[in-house]
Amino acid sequence: MPEDMLRCGVGPRAIVAAVGLTVVLGACRDATSPTSEGTLALEVVTDEVASPVGLASPPGDASRIFVLEQPGRVRVIRDGTLLTDAFLDITSETSADGERGLLGLAFHPDYDVNGYVFVYYTDNAGDTRVERFTAAGPDMADPGSGQIVLAVDQPYSNHNGGHMAFGPDGYLYVALGDGGDGGDPQGNGQDLATLLGSILRLDVDGGSPYAVPSDNPFVGTAGASPEIWVYGLRNPWRFSFDRANGDLYIGDVGQSRLEEISVQDAGSGGGENFGWNVMEGTDCFGAASCNTSGLTLPVYEYDHDEGCSVTGGYVYRGAALTELAGRYFFGDFCSGFVRSFRYQAGAAVDVQDHGVDLGTIGGLSSFGEDSAGELYLLDIEGVVYRLVASD
């Protein structure tokens, strides 16, 4: 085995293929990242939003970004100015505490025509709802237009997932955590019968409230929920598609040891099992050994001495920082670091820690991407930052 295969930054999947699972993963786990390039800075867009947990722009909309406030509001920032009135306020229908609340927002690819926007929230019974609203004007949704798309009972208050995004295929992808508590006591992560612990793929145009795409991987599998696209997830906290090539990046929050980023190559066809709760990252969970066959391991992971809850981000494809093109940015909610890597041939390479440039973010709740591909970082204390070039 070549010596450089032992270095950190060479992804577990490549290593597994080459030498088997247990030999070198420990050596890679404590990847010490080089410093960044001294070119990045954070610009405050607003510090007047309440518990921001998400950000998105309608496709092609160059003037507005929408910010999710966990208590139940969607706010609009137009040309850099936070509008007073909310685009949508479902605070009265939302229970927001801990990991609950308004957690996801996705604009329909034809939003400029149909005005459809999808939100993911915890209802007053503590259960997950995906609801479609219709815009009533440029900066306001019709509060009476709500149509429930998906309802999923939640056994515990935590691990609700919550992210949604339309894929390059035009389908709506919805992330659900394992249902909660600790250690996945119901075994939801490995249970294809439940929607929990999975990312779903829904055709919201082909049926009411949705149709299952006929090429979803578990269509026709006895006992499986056909909505499932991938599974074996604990609490996917932000996933994203690389807008240049369709690769899917998933940040999955760990239990007590390992935080991970997994990647699904575009064109995979779906069905990947990302391991939970057989594995936490590249560790067997709760056991000295486990059957790892068929599991897709993370391309990057880090220990809890470096953080405690991964916040998945985006591959940078904007215009302002062209030297970053193709870098996947992510961070940690607890320690507030911001890192990036390039994904090449199944591996995370050229990992950088951007602490020299960016410091740490107090409560890095989410990243966001606008229609132009510029990146934003959200601090749960109320701040939206834009990633910019340093002076």
CB of 75 to Ca ion, least distance (A): 25
Rounded Cα distance between 281 and 295, Å, is 11
Residue indicated by tokens 């999975």: 198
- Of the candidate spans 42-50, 84-92, 157-165, 302-310, the one that interacts with Ca ion by CB under 5 A turns out to be 157-165
- Which of 241, 301, 234, 304 has the alpha carbon at shortest distance from 273? 234
Of residues 170 and 346, the one with the C-beta less far from Ca ion:
346
CB of 382 to Ca ion, least distance (A): 25
Q: What is the per-residue DSSP string for 247-310?
A: -EEEEE--SSSEEEEEEE-TT--S--B--TTTEETTEETTSS----TTBPPPSEEEETTS-SSE
**Per CB under 5 A, 160 contacts Ca ion:** yes
Of residues 100 and 354, the one with the C-beta less far from Ca ion:
100
* Distances 258 to 158, 250, 251, 281 between C-alpha atoms, Å: 18, 14, 11, 6
CB of 282 to Ca ion, least distance (A): 8
**Number of amino acids touching Ca ion (CB under 5 A):** 8
Q: How many CB atoms lie within 10 A of CB 38?
A: 9
Contact with Ca ion (CB under 5 A): which of 275, 331, 336, 373? 275
CB of 347 to Ca ion, least distance (A): 16
Side-chain-facing half-sphere of 15: CA atoms under 13 Å: 27
Binding track, positions 113-152, relative to Ca ion; x by CB under 5 A: ----------------------------------------
Residue 113 makes CB contacts below 8 A (sequence gap 6+) with: none
CB of 155 to Ca ion, least distance (A): 6
**Per CB under 5 A, 235 contacts Ca ion:** no
Residues 165-224 that bind Ca ion (CB under 5 A): 179-180
**Per CB under 5 A, 264 contacts Ca ion:** no
Please give the residue ranges that form the binding site for Ca ion (CB under 5 A). Answer: 154, 156, 159-160, 179-180, 274-275
